């Protein structure tokens, strides 16, 4: 039986340090994506990238988040969660720093690949680490992690155009993100508990992938995060087409991200008393539907309201989706594997919408068709998630007797 790496639950004395690490890690996983939209016009002018090319700065990281999420269980088994996190944060530091020196579009896309790879490893490994280190606080800590992830998105959207304007250089507007990533790297390398080897039975990835519930969770996570990837790629350029400045359109994206952070933090706390997450999922999906409908049909009626409702719906749905995945299995390793697979398939799906919306923009002359497409995706997700009742968890994931080394 292959060994995997595990760690004992964190003693209370180290809980605060672990929570600080979760905060800093989460803050570093989205600024490199959300910082691009407000600077898209400057990047395009300097590099020659068209709308489809700019969309690759979102598509490539999302695609890598999907592909390498599948490696999360293997990374935890072979080198452990702590070392995996250290390597991932090194990639985040390097990817942002190298943006100071990019001279063309393909080099910029290359840095996006490094950043996406780093974020992919963190997202695949961290939920399992949280369930192992803080087993009694999974809902609260996952909410905190999701909130910081979305808060980092707000930080990127607001700070990147400000730094670019202050320095007169869009390269610096993207490269500043290396600094908080370096702080997170130091904290994780110094304080995250070391893994110790244990030998529990594990399940092969094929055992998970034979379960329809795993695919359902992937599709729901992918369609919801496809809405997020489109929003961070095109919300700011959408309003720049109406004559908004880079700073004003970036602020709109920042407000969306702040609302994401608020609901990502609060909804898991509100939903913690019951096992059934579906009423809360219905609420956040309704918020998304209103936001996308407003952008598609009445964009200038209430831009701030549409953006804030969309952000609130996306943030709450992201956090609840992670919790629902972890709820399905009591074992931290197995639950972490399910979460990694859900994110892997989900981010593969989520990578494509920004490019699809760019293509729709070329054919229709505007972003309205893209927002309407995501409105339809919300309806699909609502229908699928209604099937995910707590009573179905054990039955849908009953993989006893199918264990094999990953």
Q: What is the pLDDT along the chain (406 residues), one digit of tens a residue?
A: 344 444 545 544 377 888 888 899 999 998 998 888 888 888 888 888 888 888 888 888 888 888 877 776 677 677 777 888 899 999 999 999 999 998 888 999 999 999 999 998 888 788 777 777 777 777 778 778 888 888 888 888 888 989 998 999 999 999 999 999 999 999 888 877 776 544 444 556 778 888 999 999 999 999 999 999 899 888 988 998 999 887 888 888 889 988 988 898 888 888 777 788 899 999 999 999 999 999 999 999 999 999 999 999 999 999 899 889 988 888 777 887 888 789 888 988 998 898 999 999 999 999 999 999 999 999 999 999 999 998 898 888 875 444 433 3
What whole-number distance in Å separates Cα of residue 138 and Cα of residue 132? 9
pLDDT of residue 72: 67
Quick one: pLDDT at residue 223?
A: 96
Provide Rg for the chain, Cα atoms: 20
Contact 329, 397 (CB under 8 A): yes
Instruction: Tell me what pLDDT residue 189 has.
Output: 86
Contacts of 63 (CB under 8 A, 6+ apart): 116, 347, 348, 351
Is the overall model pTM greater than 0.85, yes or no? no
pLDDT for residue 291 = 97
- Tens-place pLDDT, residues 243-278: 988 788 888 888 998 898 889 888 888 877 778 889
pLDDT of residue 152: 87
Domain boundaries, given as residue ranges, for the chain: 4-396
Q: What is the pLDDT of residue 42?
A: 87
pLDDT for 93: 96
Helix (H) or strand (E) holding 354: helix 353-364
Query: How many Å apart are CA 406 and CA 399, to the nearest integer?
Result: 14
Are 41 and 162 in contact by the 8 Å Cβ rule? The answer is: no
Which CATH number describes the domain made up of 4-396? Answer: 1.20.1250.20
Take residue 180 and report the two structure tokens written for it.
């908080």
Task: Enter the DSSP assignment of 405.
Answer: -
Q: Which long-range contacts (CB under 8 A, 24 or more apart) does 359-366 make?
A: 359/52, 361/51, 361/234, 362/51, 362/52, 366/241
| pLDDT tens for each residue of 37-96 | 888 888 888 888 888 888 888 888 888 888 877 776 677 677 777 888 899 999 999 999
């Amino acid at each position: 039986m292959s060994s995997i790496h595990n760690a004992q639950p964190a003693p209370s004395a180290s809980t605060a340090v672990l929570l600080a690490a979760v905060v800093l890690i989460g803050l570093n996983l989205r600024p490199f994506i959300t910082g691009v939209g407000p600077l898209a016009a400057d990047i395009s002018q300097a590099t020659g990238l068209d709308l489809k090319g700019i969309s690759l700065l979102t598509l490539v990281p999302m695609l890598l988040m999907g592909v390498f999420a599948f490696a999360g269980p293997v990374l935890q088994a072979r080198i452990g969660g702590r070392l995996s996190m250290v390597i991932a944060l090194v990639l985040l530091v390097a990817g942002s720093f190298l943006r100071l020196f990019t001279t063309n579009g393909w080099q910029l896309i290359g840095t996006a690949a490094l950043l996406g790879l780093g974020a992919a490893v963190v997202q695949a490994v961290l939920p399992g680490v949280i369930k192992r280190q803080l087993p009694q606080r999974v809902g609260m800590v996952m909410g905190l992690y999701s909130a910081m992830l979305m808060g980092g998105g707000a930080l990127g959207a607001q700070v990147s155009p400000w730094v670019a304007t202050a320095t007169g250089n869009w390269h610096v507007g993207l490269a500043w993100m290396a600094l908080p990533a370096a702080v997170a790297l130091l904290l994780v390398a110094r304080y995250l508990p070391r893994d110790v080897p244990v030998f529990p039975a594990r399940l092969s990835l094929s055992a998970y992938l034979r379960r329809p519930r795993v695919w359902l969770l992937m599709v729901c996570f992918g369609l919801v995060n496809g809405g997020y990837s489109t929003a961070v790629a095109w919300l700011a350029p959408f309003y720049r087409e109406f004559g908004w400045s880079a700073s004003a359109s970036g602020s709109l994206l920042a407000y969306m991200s702040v609302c994401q952070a608020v609901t990502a933090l609060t909804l898991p706390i509100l939903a913690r008393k019951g096992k059934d997450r579906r009423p809360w999922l219905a609420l956040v999906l309704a918020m998304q539907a209103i936001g996308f409908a407003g952008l598609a049909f009445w964009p200038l009626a209430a831009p701030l309201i549409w953006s804030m409702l969309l952000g609130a719906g996306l943030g709450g749905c992201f956090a609840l989706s992670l919790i629902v995945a972890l709820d399905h299995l009591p074992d931290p390793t197995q639950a972490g594997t399910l979460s990694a697979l859900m994110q892997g398939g989900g981010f593969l799906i989520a990578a494509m919408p920004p490019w699809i919306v760019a293509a729709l923009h070329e054919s229709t002359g505007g972003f309205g068709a893209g927002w309407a497409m995501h409105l339809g995706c919300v309806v699909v997700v609502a229908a699928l998630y209604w099937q995910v009742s707590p009573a179905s968890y054990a039955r849908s994931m009953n993989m006893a007797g199918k264990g094999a080394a990953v």
